[in-house]
Structure 1
């Protein structure tokens, strides 16, 4: 859902903007002053993609709100609403971090076209979302589905083997002591024989290596532990 915040103290203009943006498919939150705009932004359950700010609002004006929001986010789309005679307001808004301005009065088509264009730019500039997948060489580990594939083929791993793979793939080319592996997979309260690590490594090699007797991925660091080589 495209999420947008509008801060405009004139009720007729605010209602006009809200109606037309909802028709265009946006989820709209509206407030009538700058302080409420900051509060709405900070307390939003879903982050806003675009904020529309009237320049002249009582209390905290649009410029001040623009500056505060830009300090909070470098990717948020900010549009300033200005009167036709307020040429310097346009410059000031852009200098403070606004992305665009719309001059009053404006048509529904102009409003939606300008907001749509900014939303597309914001979406393209947004950082990539966190992924549940870790990729290392031919292996893909998916935390959500709890699976590991090699060259697209699923590997039949036990819970312990999966956890070892997760540890290895998150620490490529890093020599891990047996005690580190034991602590990470079995927990600090495990007091069994550390050789359990070696046993599970051998089992894991049977499943991930092309030639388990000559391991390519799970290599031994003699006298120390193991290293994952992607």
Structure 2
């Protein structure tokens, strides 16, 4: 597959809803190589939450999910954004299932097994008809698991709930989301967030990490992890399962 990445294409956000991790990974790679940004969701509730946070330009939606039925997810997505292009994926190839999906608002339908090239071509056609590949859009949304940060409005949500951060806490979280799962040392954090070296800078980082933990992780499965002797990392909850 030939990638078409660039400043314009990378702004296109594609929500991928499928409960098969291996297939989700393949679709994410294909979407990335096409020059778009993938936002994977393992189930219907996650898909709806992430969609509200990242405002996708297109959706690849499996018809069979572990919680909500794909048709239910499609109808809710359609209710919130009637013009959102949706490509349905399903192993069910009976004509009535295709008709159900199309009647619920799907723009196109691909039956498993399928080729990744076909999915990308169909998505490209849907995006072109919707005008998403030609229209500059906000590229400030970052999503990791159930954590959503919107740079343009400086809003943060976890599991759909708003999280109030100070300016520096927001900058610190943005740094972590720009380097998901990567261990960042105190020196790296200090340099990137404060752009300077202070006496006791390590303690400064510790104070802000502690504060960010209280706001992001309190009452929830932790995402901010201390890597002893190395630094800190932000990881989705799924990584610990």
TM-score by length of 2: 0.49
Contiguous gaps of at least 5 residues in structure 1: 130-230
Match of 2:155 in 1: none
1:103 to 107, 111, 134: 111
TM-superposed deviation, 1:12: 1.4
- Residue in 2 aligned with 1:29? 39
TM-aligned CA deviation for residue 87 of structure 1: 2.8
Post-superposition offset of 1:27 = 0.6
Number of the residue aligned with 2:24: 14
Number of the residue aligned with 2:51: 41
Partners of 1:106 and 1:84 in 2: how far apart? Answer: 12
Deviation at 1:84, TM superposition (A): 5.1
Once the two structures are TM-superposed, the CA of residue 9 in structure 1 deviates from its matched residue by: 0.4
Partner of 2:14: 4
Aligned-pair RMSD on alpha carbons?
2.2
Report how far residue 95 of structure 1 moved: 0.3
Count how many residue pairs are aligned between Structure 1 and Structure 2. 127
The partner residue of 1:57 within 56, 60, 65 is 65
Structure 2 spans left out of the alignment, 5+ residues: 1-10, 138-241
- Separation in structure 1 between the aligned mates of residue 109 and residue 135 of structure 2, nearest angstrom: 24
Partner Cα distance (1:40, 1:27) in 2: 13
Instruction: Give CA deviations for 1:4-50 in whole Å, capped at 9, x if unaligned.
Output: 10000011111111111110011110011000000001122xx2110
SS across alignment from 1:29:
strand
Report what 2:81 is aligned to: 73
SS in 2 for 1:53: strand
Equivalent residue, structure 2, for 1:86:
94
Q: CA deviation at 1:85?
A: 3.0
Deviations 1:163-186 (A, max 9, x none): xxxxxxxxxxxxxxxxxxxxxxxx
Q: Distance in 2 between matches of 1:26 and 1:89?
A: 29
Work out the CA distance in 2 between the residues paired with 1:66 and 1:72: 10
The structure-2 alpha-carbon separation of the partners of 1:116 and 1:59, relative to structure 1 and needing over 3 Å to count, comes to same
User: Offset of 1:97 from its aligned partner?
Assistant: 0.7
Deviation at 1:127, TM superposition (A): 10
Question: Greater RCO between the two (CA within 8 Å, min separation 6)?
Answer: 2
Moved more, 115-124 or 23-32: 115-124
TM-score (norm 1): 0.52
Alpha-carbon distance in 1 for matches of 2:25, 2:116? 12
